[in-house]
A and B are shown apart, each in its own frame.
Chain A
Amino acid sequence: MEAQTKKGLALPYDADIGATPSTLRKRIRKNLDLYLCLTPGLVYFFIFCYIPMFGLLIAFKDYNIFQGVLKSPWNHFAYFKEMVHLPDLYKIIRNTLMLNVLGLIFGFPAPIVLAILLNEVRSKYFKRVTQSLLYLPHFMSWVLMGGMIYALLSPKYGIVNQLLQAIGLQPIYFMGENAWWVTVFIGSGIWAGAGWGTIIYLAAMTTLDPHLYESASIDGAGRWKKIIHITLPGIMPTVVVLLILNVGHMVSIGFEQPYALMNPLVMDVADVLSTYIYDLGIRQGGFGLTTAIGLLQSAVNLALVVGANYAANRMGREGIW
């Protein structure tokens, strides 16, 4: 025992492998203050992340506030059976998927195109100013964005409809018609995210070898050819990884954007999982049922994220972990 401790002492302080029990103890004792630092964080994750996971049990129980999670009786999957017969749920899932898929189709290429255009700008001043303007919406709250969208598209006073009328068209009630509402939702997502999304692609472009562009010029390639044959292939790894990670988030949708944009006229397309769970769970007190829905959503989400990361790693790229 004594000998082992001595051996432990002889090891360099940050030896990572071959830790015998006593060297392990030694290493822990030496960094006791670090563990103390780490404790609040570990406790935080335990209370606010792991206890709610344990709280998912109420999806399988007749939850009753007075009896608590543990003592409430099991209910033999009653919520899951109820869920199948919930007519709204199909609509909610369809809306969530529809908005996410359309957001991917139109929202995903937007920052790529924008980044390519920005990359071709040679005036540093022009580039810096436009980038500042393009990033700005990312830092605005959805409450404000929603308010501005409603004001701009208002059928009576909104500037868009006044333009339409000025060129002799009928005013459109954008926020009151399903198809238009979906268009506005996707468009507002692009408005908020496309500029900010360019950063990662611009970073990828700065790593491309300038000699490639030069030799292409010597061979007589114009801007367009250089974009197609050098820039695009160069950022393709980044594009693939981001695409895969985006697919991993197909069943999760934020709360604030749909909540800020929805109104009673368009609930057929605007009601999504997050807003539905909020309304049915917290406003109407259907805790068990909405927890069951949330559990399914989390499970599918986990499967997609793990699958996406696996796919990203398989492509020889670094995933998220």
Chain B
Amino acid sequence: MPEMKAVTLDTLLPGEGGFIRGYSEAKELHHRLKELGLVGGTMVRVRRCAPLGDPMELSIRGYHLSIRKEDARHILVLKDEQGPCGRGRGCGRRDGGRS
């Protein structure tokens, strides 16, 4: 078994991905995200970030979804081994550019 650690979705670089473990807090706001398929156990991968670093484009359940980092911050992901594509370009700071 490769080692897995839970990180928040907004910290992933383009090309990185993993399985969703859950949400860091229970909020009614997240219901829409879940309806779109971002539920526990789902495989998610970051495709790219917008030119100004936010939002990020995810690949999930066979389609592409744009999500803001401030929303992605609440989603916990068990990161898999696959590293960032290329030189990890596109997403700006690794802390996800919180403000």
Q: Are chains A and B native binding partners rather than an unrelated pairing?
A: no
